[in-house]
Structure 1
Amino acid sequence: MRLVIFTEPQQGASYEDLRRVAQLAEEAGYDGFFRSDHYLAMGGDGLPGPTDAWVTLAGLAVQTSRIRLGTLVTSATFRLPGPLAISVAQVDAMSGGRVELGLGGGWFQAEHTGYGIPFPPLGERFDRLEEQLEIVTGLWTTPQGETYGFDGKHYQILGSPALPKPAQSPRPPIIVGGAGKKRTPALAARYADEFNTPFAKIDDLPAMYDRVREASRAIGRDTPPAFSAAAVLCVGRDDAEVARRAAAIGREVDEMRGNGGIVGTPDQVVDILGRYARAGASRIYLQTLDLSDLDHVELVASAVAPQLG
């Protein structure tokens, strides 16, 4: 089981907060450091204000050396696909080939209206996401010296030199996720290296993964994407410490446990992660909400990770 620290900086974090956690996660042996891509807090004041996901990852690319870096997930409504492909390729080169792109359709309307970003209806957002996945992967994989073109409903590209190329070949991994029953599995089957289920109950995961397997078979893809899950993290050495950490993030222990949270003492959490593994997940994104609590990150690395297969 691969463990990733997953942060929500829109809730209130500076770049320095993120740097400290990312560097500690690298030192502690985590597989990756990922962040959400949001511009508005979901409760609370969000001070000091949002940080841009790809600006953050560019900084971390040169201030870390081993850990994987990525978004869960970048919204297709935030950026045009050509400039997004350039940004991610550049950060991949800056990191020496450690970047992964999670890309989704966008869902949080308030952050769009709050920062002047158009927010199309759901169907159009999915259409734009599909075209963006086609364009970004197409630009990256076009052989050097050739040009790339695309004539879609929402985006048109003519004679692009398809540069720069990312450090990873043929391209950085693509992550697609969500709970949709038709279009999401189809997009994951066609474009994704990894399919992520965000904050779902563990018992629901096998059916969600099976839909991606079926969609993969339908297009002749022999090996489906890898499967992962995101879940809130709340671990303590004893029940009192678990309760203290839950209170610090404004959550209830039983509520988090009932919704697939990685919650409890180290031994309890090992059992929960075992359930995720049996459901089919090979990578877990640990939603770490209190970025000042560095002991939390260290505890999971020292008391949980060594017990995992």
Structure 2
Amino acid sequence: MDFRIFTEPQQGASYDELLAVAKATEELGFDAFFRSDHYLRMGDGDPGYGPTDAWTTLAGLARETSRIRLGTLVSSVTYRYPGILAIQVAQVDAMSGGRAELGLGTGWFAEEHRAYGIPFPPKRFDLLEEQLEIVTGLWSTPAGSTYSFSGDHYTLEDSPALPKPVQSPVPVIVGGKGAKRTPLLAARFATEFNIPFPDPGTTPELIAGVRSACESIGRDPESLVYSAALVVATGSSEAEFHARAAAIGREPAELRENGLAGSAAEVVDKLGALRAEGVTRVYLQVLDLADLDHLDFIAREIVPQLG
């Protein structure tokens, strides 16, 4: 099972704070550092430094790390034109020596769009489908050829489809809990299907839906990675766990039900159950970015039992 650290910098984190977490992620042996792609704090509280741009952050981390993979969970189609997004990701891929990954989704947080003047159309799934087709199409266009696309939302004419990423293909993550369109988009375009904060007992059905969609288009379901993202809060004692829950404003009982929480043994048991349901990669949502001892505890006490 792969373990990735997943952060939410829109809650208030500077680049230097994110760099410290990314370096700890690398030094402690985790597979990847991922971040959300948002521009406004969610909920009450001190906004601190404020938001940072996801792909600007990842470009910096590309030059300050050497092993971990770097990506978004997930970028919103409302933030960037697909041609520009393809260039940004390809550049970060080159800057990192082939370690970039793109998670792409429809977006949902209307307030941040109003706060920063970003259009937020009510229907965005067609935007996602066209962006996935354009981004992957640009990257896969042979060198020396051009790429054109005509859709309902975007038109590209004779694009040189440059620059090319180092990786071929760049891993693309599609996620969600939809039963119809999401599985088919994952089957068509993704290298990984992610379940964000799965409700108890729903994981097998969601994975089965993507596997079925793969089979319907003649794709091997085993060619996808199946992952899940869950908040994590754990510690060497009940008191330490409770302190970490309080630090992120969550109730211990609620965390135990909906996240990876409690003692190391409890977290290992829940991860083992997810693995039995078909999940082979987990994004550990770490909400207290100042608590690097938390990462150290997870790396020492949990990962070796499931890695």
Structure 1-normalised TM-score?
A: 0.97
- What is residue 217 of structure 1 aligned with on the other side? 215
Choose the corresponding residue for 2:303, options 289, 292, 305.
Answer: 305
CA distance in structure 1 between the partners assigned to 2:36 and 2:188 by the alignment: 23
CA distance in structure 2 between the partners assigned to 1:141 and 1:37 by the alignment: 25
CA deviation string 1:101-157 (max 9, x = no partner): 0000111000111110110113xx000000000000000000000000000000000
Q: Is the 8 A contact 1:201 1:258 kept in 2?
A: no
Whether 1:29 aligns to 2:47 is: no
In the TM superposition, 1:83-232 aligns within 5 A as: 83-122=84-123, 125-169=124-168, 171-224=169-222, 225-232=224-231
Report the residue type matching 1:142 in the other structure: T
- What is residue 279 of structure 1 aligned with on the other side? 277
Unaligned runs of 5+ in 2: none
CA distance in structure 2 between the partners assigned to 1:154 and 1:45 by the alignment: 38
How many matched pairs?
305
CA deviation string 1:31-71 (max 9, x = no partner): 00000000001012322110000000000000000001000
CA deviation string 1:233-258 (max 9, x = no partner): 10110111100100000001111221
- What is residue 71 of structure 1 aligned with on the other side? 72
Q: Is the 8 A contact 1:203 1:279 kept in 2?
A: no
- What is residue 20 of structure 2 aligned with on the other side? 20
Report the residue type matching 1:101 in the other structure: L
Q: Is the 8 A contact 1:35 1:70 kept in 2?
A: yes
What SS does the corresponding residue of 2:178 show, helix, strand or coil? coil
CA distance in structure 1 between the partners assigned to 2:50 and 2:19 by the alignment: 16
CA distance in structure 2 between the partners assigned to 1:54 and 1:235 by the alignment: 30
CA distance in structure 2 between the partners assigned to 1:162 and 1:129 by the alignment: 19
CA distance in structure 2 between the partners assigned to 1:296 and 1:128 by the alignment: 38
CA deviation string 1:238-284 (max 9, x = no partner): 1111001000000011112212x110111221111101101111000
CA distance in structure 2 between the partners assigned to 1:257 and 1:131 by the alignment: 39
Q: Is the 8 A contact 1:202 1:279 kept in 2?
A: no
CA deviation string 1:162-221 (max 9, x = no partner): 00000102x210000011111111111110100000011241100011110111111111
- What is residue 53 of structure 1 aligned with on the other side? 54
In the TM superposition, 1:233-244 aligns within 5 A as: 233-244=232-243
Structure 1 residue 308, shift from structure 2 partner: 1.2
What SS does the corresponding residue of 1:55 show, helix, strand or coil? helix
CA distance in structure 1 between the partners assigned to 2:240 and 2:46 by the alignment: 26
- What is residue 251 of structure 2 aligned with on the other side? 252
CA distance in structure 2 between the partners assigned to 1:269 and 1:195 by the alignment: 22
Report the residue type matching 2:31 in the other structure: D
What SS does the corresponding residue of 2:302 show, helix, strand or coil? helix
Structure 1 residue 86, shift from structure 2 partner: 0.2
Aligned sequence identity (%): 63
CA distance in structure 2 between the partners assigned to 1:253 and 1:177 by the alignment: 27
CA distance in structure 1 between the partners assigned to 2:299 and 2:221 by the alignment: 31
CA distance in structure 2 between the partners assigned to 1:210 and 1:14 by the alignment: 39
Report the residue type matching 1:193 in the other structure: T
Q: Is the 8 A contact 1:13 1:49 kept in 2?
A: yes
CA distance in structure 1 between the partners assigned to 2:46 and 2:218 by the alignment: 48
What SS does the corresponding residue of 2:22 show, helix, strand or coil? helix
CA distance in structure 1 between the partners assigned to 2:194 and 2:226 by the alignment: 6
Q: Is the 8 A contact 1:202 1:275 kept in 2?
A: no
CA distance in structure 1 between the partners assigned to 2:206 and 2:194 by the alignment: 10
Structure 2-normalised TM-score?
A: 0.98
CA deviation string 1:279-308 (max 9, x = no partner): 111000000000000000111001111111
CA distance in structure 2 between the partners assigned to 1:111 and 1:46 by the alignment: 13
Report the residue type matching 1:198 in the other structure: P
Structure 1 residue 25, shift from structure 2 partner: 0.6
